[in-house]
Amino acid sequence: MLLFTNVTTQAGKDLYVTVDGAYIKSITSERPAGNFERIIDCKDTLMLPGLYNTHTHAAMTLFRGYGEDLPLQRWLTERIFPAEEKLTAQSVYTASMLAAAEMISAGIVSFTDMYMFPEETARAVAETGMKANLCRPILSFDPDESIKDSERLAEAMSLYNEWHNACDGRIKIDMSLHAEYTNTERSCRETAEYAKSLGANMHIHLSETKTEHEECKARHGGRTPACFMYDCGVFDSKTTAAHCVWLEDSDLPLLREKGVTVAHNPVSNLKLGSGVMPYRKYRDAGINVSLGTDGAASNNTLDVMKEMYVAALIHKGTSLAPDSVTAADVLESATICGSRAQGRDDCGRLEPGCRADLILIDTDSINNIPSYDPAYTAVYSANRSDVRLTMVDGKILYENGEFMTLDIEKVKAEMRYTCAHYFD
């Protein structure tokens, strides 16, 4: 067992947190009896649940800084899609290892990833000790094509059969549709049926840009992307819908009815000029709102602490109401709302019986003094450089700048080599 002493959480100060195996055993105000393998003094730190990145493309660290200052559709068609034609299993693994290191050191314990060669990202997750919900997105442009015969579905099913609930449940496999504009009605309906038959979660892009949203309505008799996906049965599975910048009021009851999570990606949406998602409106409508970074090509970091900060500030500014989105709101979106989106019901909270997925934030750093309130410190003054420890399932992955499950210099060197020769 491990014992954390002098712990400060959102619930109180001077606490003792005991971790037994993969779980939090106790949180008490008095020191528990027993023998401990290690005692960690948490003086001048803040303990939080680990952070969740519920929409990303980890291997797109390959394209960080490539194709800047373009709107989404031009960015995709002129830069990203051509670059992705050169992807290999090895390049995806290398980039996923770098992404995992970046996220672990930023206090992220789990991520939801949609990309090619997902088995290579799964391998990186398995090796580094993180958690992840992974998927191979379905794309189909031929209205007469059945995805039952497609290579992409075969890859998705192979991924599910090999990796779902692997590593003691750290890795989960979802089904995925890339988006309405990259699929036909038939492919959406068939993918929805596969997800239901497996009991798998679903992951999609939804109403990211105004152009995407309006073109869908033109194609489908006025139906919005959300209405279209609802009619195709996509939301009959537990769904995380990324972006949702341009949902209409009529869409919200559909998402609430089906328990769809909206993954808010504020930095990516701002950088690509896609717009600002109405966070408060969706929360008030009873929708679970989590946070995501999107890929490093459109962000350009994998940093949920940055997403919390931007989410809190941008909505205060656009609403002209500083209390419209609070620090506690976005911290909840980054933790328990994320675990809820991934279907990890025993995660996302600092409570006895929950998984020991936790982080320590340095409150003795210059930018965090004084620290009057844990949520205010975590959201408004702390940043990724203040992360002192990241633990997943009771295992320390990162502590005081040191990685415990990967050779960071090797990871960086392999990534530099891959990028230097990627476009040869």
**Mean pLDDT computed over 340-364:** 98
> How would you classify residue 177: left for phi > 0, otherwise alpha for psi between -120 and 50, otherwise beta?
beta
pLDDT at 364 over 90: yes
> How would you classify residue 275: left for phi > 0, otherwise alpha for psi between -120 and 50, otherwise beta?
left
The 8-class DSSP code of residue 355 comes to: B
Whole-number pLDDT of residue 67: 87
pLDDT at 73 over 90: no
CB of 58 closer than 8 Å to CB of 120 = no
Q: How far apart are CA 23 and CA 346, in angstroms?
A: 9
Give pLDDT tens digits for 370-420: 999 999 999 999 999 999 999 999 999 999 999 999 999 999 999 999 999
Whole-number pLDDT of residue 71: 87
Task: Return the ∠ at Cα 223 (arms to 216 and 54), rounded to 5°.
Answer: 70
Whole-number pLDDT of residue 178: 97
Nearest to 284 by CA among 320, 329, 239, 243: 329
**Mean pLDDT computed over 26-42:** 97
Whole-number pLDDT of residue 149: 86
Element holding 206 (H helix, E strand): strand 202-206
Please list the residue range(s) of the chain that carry CATH number 2.30.40.10.
Answer: 2-49+349-403
Please list the residue range(s) of the chain that carry CATH number 3.20.20.140.
Answer: 51-342
Q: Is the pTM of this model over 0.85?
A: yes
Q: Which fold would CATH assign to domain 2-49+349-403? A: Urease, subunit C; domain 1 (2.30.40)
Give pLDDT tens digits for 154-202: 999 999 999 999 999 999 999 999 999 999 999 999 999 999 999 999 9
Whole-number pLDDT of residue 66: 94
pLDDT at 49 over 90: yes
Q: How far apart are CA 106 and CA 331, in angstroms?
A: 14
pLDDT band at 7 (very low <50, low <70, confident <90, very high): very high
Q: How far apart are CA 354 and CA 356, in angstroms?
A: 6
Give pLDDT tens digits for 109-149: 999 999 999 999 999 999 999 999 999 999 999 998 999 98
pLDDT at 3 over 90: yes
Give pLDDT tens digits for 241-277: 999 999 999 999 999 999 999 999 999 999 999 999 9
Give pLDDT tens digits for 205-228: 999 999 999 999 999 999 999 999
Whole-number pLDDT of residue 42: 98
Q: What is the total residue count of the chain?
A: 424
The sign of the torsion formed by the CA atoms of 88, 90, 95, 96 equals positive
CATH of region 51-342: 3.20.20.140
Residues facing residue 5 across a β-bridge = 41
Whole-number pLDDT of residue 306: 99
Task: Return the ∠ at Cα 214 (arms to 212 and 220), rounded to 5°.
Answer: 100
How many whole angstroms from its chain centre is CA 228? Answer: 24
How many whole angstroms from its chain centre is CA 355? Answer: 18
CB of 43 closer than 8 Å to CB of 81 = no
pLDDT at 44 over 90: yes
Q: How far apart are CA 90 and CA 105, in angstroms?
A: 23
The 8-class DSSP code of residue 78 comes to: I
Whole-number pLDDT of residue 424: 84
Q: How far apart are CA 302 and CA 58, in angstroms?
A: 8
Whole-number pLDDT of residue 199: 98
Give pLDDT tens digits for 281-311: 999 999 999 999 999 999 999 999 999 999 9
